């Protein structure tokens, strides 16, 4: 027998379980049954697809209790595990983001449901047991099986189990009943029936309970997606969702689909109510479960749902696919592509309906998943419209996000385009000099601060025929500008002078229509990429030529007016050149940009300040 240590993260998670912070302890059984059901699926598939020799004639899960010894065992005749698999799968947590999540869990004593985001699986047994044994033998292996045992306190033992049958048995040595602590008597028949009915009724294998000679099946095994919606309770849907998603929180929305005709399929999809912690991690699990005529074929079928809707969970049951279908074939299958298009359409239209039927749910949805959904604007040009219709954006009008349709409703008379400004934060965008004239004249501007906003705004030209217009690009002709008087004095020579002095930094210097209080700002040419996008490309290793921008001056500002006068008096004045540099640097800083040579700028500024004290 060997004694081994749990990996550090696993140890911490076990600690949380042993001192159980989660009040709903009943779910340990759901987790065990879920694992057993997965193991049965795996065995069936190994036989079907890889030709493993195994007896799959009576795949089932069995629960056995001994009230006197206070033990509860959950047994399956599924795939089982080798010794090394037991050590690797049960002794460690291989999920990304574990350490980070554990940190959050510790802080959030008040919100134990956070743990649900993580899915503690097997470890949840330590909420109700002070000792857990697992005996397993892998299908298709010769020789003995493996016995694993632990009290959940730092170490576990591993031993040989000579006569273990194929499959896995997990035996819990139950803690004493303590109903004040939501710790029930899990040897009680009614309690077990209630839990199985509530959480695991839809499991497609029989869950049997054995007491002495008597054996009864506790679950109906009915595929939820095949039952009419009116016959299924929300609670049943929710438990099914938790089974397939490993989330512990109820979903936000349930979507049923059924297609008949040449290609039949049924789908049951869920939109979670919270983004998983790994929504933006590339290696996170995604995709839907694929069934063929009620038979589970594979998890995580990415082919069924595009990446930008990766948070959608659920099942697709297609009638006409081969049971042997492989991932490679899936990728090219015409029917699968058709299903995928229909699912996308349905998910997008469901969210659109929420906007009017349940604005609160819609707001939750967008807050949690909006950032991911916007990636769809890059991936699916055909779906620009439906995606933009369900999007909302922060705006200069109030603190609540707005849809584009609502923005268009509010547009001022004469306004043709939808104005937006991208940046790193709301305050940076709101205080940007580009905003000045728009604010002064009461134009609403959308505030876009997600990194993906920089990219999609570059490729999506309009919404419903209204051009999407960055107020930091191109020239601005606000409808009311015509009334503005021409600036006094001739700025031509000054603009020419500055253009020459700053030719390294900018491609043009011109007068501005967008400034009211700042002296200067930088804008991009309508066809050029923005500095933020340039920076992003560079971060991804794509070097391109630096794109020069345009310096715009506010002729009404005393600094600019003074500069014009000084230039008129003496065009040779060397300090004018420094002022030009300062003007450019300040404009760059005001929009949150990075100075190329901060030390030089600081020196110029200090010298200039020294002259004023
Ligand atoms: N009854 C079982 N038969 C075979 N393998 C099992 C069994 N129970 C657990 N395992 C293996 O151990 C792994 C870890 O199980 P655990 O319950 O901790 O997490 P999980 O089911 O992978 O995910 P989650 O934590 O989200 O529930 C499983 O992925 C599976 O490979």
Tell me the pLDDT tens digit for each residue of 145-165. Answer: 999 999 999 899 999 999 999
Residue written as token pair 């989330």: 247
> So what's the pLDDT on residue 530?
78
Euclidean distance between CA atoms 82 and 556, whole angstroms? 79
Q: Does ligand 1 have an atom closer than 6 angstroms to the CB of 259?
A: no
> So what's the pLDDT on residue 118?
60
Q: How many CB atoms lie within 10 A of CB 151?
A: 16
* Residue to mutate, 11, 33, 35, ligand 1, most ligand atoms under 8 Å from C-beta: 35
Q: For 225-357, CATH number?
A: 3.30.230.80
CA of 78, closest atom in ligand 1: 3
Cβ contact 307:379 at 8 Å: yes
CA of 120, closest atom in ligand 1: 25
**Within the chain, which residues score under 70 in pLDDT?**
20-21, 94-97, 105, 108-119, 479-486
Q: Does ligand 1 have an atom closer than 6 angstroms to the CB of 89?
A: yes
Residue written as token pair 């609160």: 360
Cβ contact 80:167 at 8 Å: yes
Q: 376-396, pLDDT tens digit by residue?
A: 999 999 999 999 999 999 999
Q: Which residue has a Cα nearest atom 31 of ligand 1?
A: 89
Question: Angle 334-357/359-373 helices, nearest 10 degrees?
Answer: 140
Q: Which residue has a Cα nearest atom 14 of ligand 1?
A: 89
> What letters, b where the CB count within 10 A reaches 16 and e where it falls short, cover 153-188?
eeebebbebeebebbbbbbbbbbeeeeeeebbbbbe
Q: Does ligand 1 have an atom closer than 6 angstroms to the CB of 285?
A: no
Query: What tokens were used for 372?
Result: 């991911």
Phi, psi at 516, each rounded to 5°: -120, -35
The runs of H, that is alpha helices, within 333-434 are 334-357, 359-373, 376-379, 384-390, 404-410, 426-430
Domain ranges of the chain: 2-220, 225-357, 492-612
Q: Positive or negative, the Cα torsion across 198, 200, 202, 208?
A: negative
C-alpha 470 – ligand 1 centre gap (Å): 50
Q: How many CB atoms lie within 10 A of CB 303?
A: 20
For 7, half-sphere exposure in the C-beta direction (CA atoms, 13 angstrom radius) is 13
Euclidean distance between CA atoms 267 and 470, whole angstroms? 40
Q: Does ligand 1 have an atom closer than 6 angstroms to the CB of 119?
A: yes
C-alpha 396 – ligand 1 centre gap (Å): 49
Cβ contact 29:174 at 8 Å: no
Q: Which residue has a Cα nearest atom 26 of ligand 1?
A: 119
Q: 214-264, pLDDT tens digit by residue?
A: 899 999 898 899 888 999 999 999 999 988 888 888 999 999 999 988 789
> So what's the pLDDT on residue 142?
86
The conformation of residue 309, written as its DSSP 8-state character, comes to G
The conformation of residue 473, written as its DSSP 8-state character, comes to B
**What's the topology of domain 492-612?**
1.20.120
The runs of H, that is alpha helices, within 460-554 are 492-501, 531-539
Euclidean distance between CA atoms 288 and 311, whole angstroms? 10
Euclidean distance between CA atoms 377 and 308, whole angstroms? 9
CA of 93, closest atom in ligand 1: 18
Phi, psi at 226, each rounded to 5°: -90, -5
The conformation of residue 557, written as its DSSP 8-state character, comes to S
Q: Which residue has a Cα nearest atom 20 of ligand 1?
A: 121
What share of the chain has pLDDT > 90, as a percent?
A: 56
The runs of H, that is alpha helices, within 404-491 are 404-410, 426-430, 436-440, 451-459
Instruction: Say if 225-357 and 492-612 have the same CATH topology.
Output: no
Q: For 2-220, CATH number?
A: 3.30.565.10
> So what's the pLDDT on residue 479?
66
Cβ contact 552:523 at 8 Å: yes
Could you tell me if the ipTM is greater than 0.85? yes
Euclidean distance between CA atoms 524 and 422, whole angstroms? 12
C-alpha 125 – ligand 1 centre gap (Å): 12
Radius of gyration of the chain (CA): 32
Q: Does ligand 1 have an atom closer than 6 angstroms to the CB of 168?
A: yes
Q: How many CB atoms lie within 10 A of CB 192?
A: 21
> So what's the pLDDT on residue 253?
97
Helices and strands in the chain, H and E counts: 21, 23
Measured between alpha carbons, how far is residue 590 from residues 49, 111, 444, 584, 593 in Å?
62, 41, 20, 10, 7
Q: Which residue has a Cα nearest atom 13 of ligand 1?
A: 89
Residue written as token pair 């309009």: 462
> So what's the pLDDT on residue 261?
81
Phi, psi at 385, each rounded to 5°: -65, -55
> So what's the pLDDT on residue 114?
60
Q: Does ligand 1 have an atom closer than 6 angstroms to the CB of 253?
A: no
SS (H, E, C) 180-215: HHCECCCCCHHHHHHHHHHHHCCCCCCEEEEECCEE
C-alpha 285 – ligand 1 centre gap (Å): 15
* Residue to mutate, 6, 29, 89, ligand 1, most ligand atoms under 8 Å from C-beta: 89
Q: How many CB atoms lie within 10 A of CB 391?
A: 20
Residue written as token pair 């490993």: 246
Phi, psi at 590, each rounded to 5°: -60, -30
Euclidean distance between CA atoms 173 and 191, whole angstroms? 17
Euclidean distance between CA atoms 447 and 420, whole angstroms? 6
Q: Give Dmax over CA atoms of the chain in angstroms.
A: 110
Annotated binding site for ATP: 31, 35, 76, 81, 95-97, 117-122, 168, 327
Euclidean distance between CA atoms 495 and 500, whole angstroms? 9
DSSP-assigned states of every residue in 422-435: E-SSHHHHHT-GGG
For 186, half-sphere exposure in the C-beta direction (CA atoms, 13 angstrom radius) is 27
Measured between alpha carbons, how far is residue 519 from residues 421, 434, 559 in Å?
19, 11, 7
* Contacts for 541 with CB less than 8 Å, ≥ 6 apart: none
Question: Angle 234-245/189-200 helices, nearest 10 degrees?
Answer: 80
Q: Which residue has a Cα nearest atom 1 of ligand 1?
A: 36
Q: Does ligand 1 have an atom closer than 6 angstroms to the CB of 35?
A: yes
* Residue to mutate, 6, 38, 115, 118, ligand 1, most ligand atoms under 8 Å from C-beta: 38
Euclidean distance between CA atoms 319 and 323, whole angstroms? 10
> So what's the pLDDT on residue 603?
92
Q: Does ligand 1 have an atom closer than 6 angstroms to the CB of 86?
A: no
Q: Does ligand 1 have an atom closer than 6 angstroms to the CB of 95?
A: no
C-alpha 612 – ligand 1 centre gap (Å): 72
C-alpha 283 – ligand 1 centre gap (Å): 18
Q: Does ligand 1 have an atom closer than 6 angstroms to the CB of 298?
A: no
Q: Does ligand 1 have an atom closer than 6 angstroms to the CB of 61?
A: no
Order of strands across the sheet that contains 446-448:
402-403, 392-395, 446-448, 418-422, 466-470, 462-463
């Amino acid at each position: 027998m060997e004694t081994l240590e749990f990996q550090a993260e696993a140890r911490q998670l076990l600690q949380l379980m042993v001192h159980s912070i989660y009040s709903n302890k009943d779910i340990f059984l759901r987790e065990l049954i879920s694992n057993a059901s997965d193991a049965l699926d795996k065995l069936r598939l190994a036989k079907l697809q890889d030709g493993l020799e195994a007896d799959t004639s009576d795949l089932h899960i069995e629960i056995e209790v001994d009230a006197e010894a206070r033990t509860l065992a959950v047994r399956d005749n599924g795939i089982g595990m080798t010794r090394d698999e037991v050590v690797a799968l049960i002794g460690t947590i291989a999920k990304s983001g574990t350490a980070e999540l554990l940190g959050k869990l510790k802080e959030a004593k008040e919100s134990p449901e956070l743990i649900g985001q993580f899915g503690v699986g097997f470890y949840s047994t330590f909420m109700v047991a002070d000792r857990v044994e697992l005996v397993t033998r892998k299908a298709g292996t010769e020789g003995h099986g493996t016995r694993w045992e632990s009290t959940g306190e730092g170490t576990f033992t591993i031993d040989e189990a000579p006569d273990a049958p194929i499959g896995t048995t997990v035996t819990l040595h139950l803690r004493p009943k303590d109903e004040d602590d939501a710790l029930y008597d899990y040897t009680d028949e009614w309690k077990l029936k209630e839990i199985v009915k509530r959480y695991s009724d839809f499991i497609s294998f029989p869950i049997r309970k054995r007491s002495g000679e008597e054996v009864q099946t506790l679950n109906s095994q009915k595929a939820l997606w095949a039952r009419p919606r009116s016959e299924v309770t929300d609670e049943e849907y929710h438990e099914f969702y938790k089974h397939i998603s490993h989330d512990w929180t109820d979903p936000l929305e349930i979507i049923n689909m059924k297609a008949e005709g040449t290609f039949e399929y049924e789908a049951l999809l869920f939109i979670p109510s919270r983004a998983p912690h790994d929504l933006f991690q590339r290696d996170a699990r995604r995709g839907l479960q694929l069934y063929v005529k009620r038979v589970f074929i594979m998890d995580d079928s990415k082919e069924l749902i595009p990446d930008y809707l990766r948070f959608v969970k659920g099942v697709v049951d297609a009638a006409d696919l081969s049971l042997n279908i492989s991932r490679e074939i899936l990728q090219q299958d015409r029917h699968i592509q058709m299903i995928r298009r229909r699912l996308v359409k349905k998910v997008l239209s469901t969210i659109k309906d929420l906007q009017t039927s349940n604005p609160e749910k819609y707001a939750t949805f967008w807050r949690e998943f909006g950032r991911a959904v916007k990636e769809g604007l890059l991936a699916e040009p055909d779906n620009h419209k439906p995606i933009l219709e369900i999007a909302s954006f922060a705006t200069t009008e109030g603190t609540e996000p707005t849809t584009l349709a609502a923005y268009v409703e509010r547009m001022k008379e004469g306004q043709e385009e939808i104005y937006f400004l991208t940046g790193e934060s709301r305050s940076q965008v709101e205080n940007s000099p580009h905003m000045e004239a728009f604010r002064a004249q009461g134009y609403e501007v959308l505030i876009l601060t997600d990194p993906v906003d920089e990219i999609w705004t570059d490729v999506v030209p309009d919404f419903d025929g209204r051009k999407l217009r960055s107020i930091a690009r191109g020239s601005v002709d606000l409808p009311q500008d015509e009334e503005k008087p021409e600036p006094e004095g001739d700025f031509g020579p000054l603009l020419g002078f500055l253009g020459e002095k700053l030719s390294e930094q900018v491609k043009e210097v011109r007068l501005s229509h967008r400034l009211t209080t700042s002296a200067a700002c930088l804008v991009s040419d309508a066809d050029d990429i923005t500095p933020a996008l340039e920076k992003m490309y560079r971060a991804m290793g794509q070097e391109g030529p630096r794109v020069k921008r345009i310096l715009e001056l506010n002729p009404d500002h005393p600094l600019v007016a003074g500069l014009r006068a000084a230039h008129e008096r003496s065009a040779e004045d060397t300090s004018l050149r420094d002022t030009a540099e300062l003007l450019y640097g300040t404009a760059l800083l005001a929009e949150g940009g990075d100075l190329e040579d901060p030390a030089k700028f600081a020196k110029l500024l200090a010298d200039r300040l020294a002259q004023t004290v």
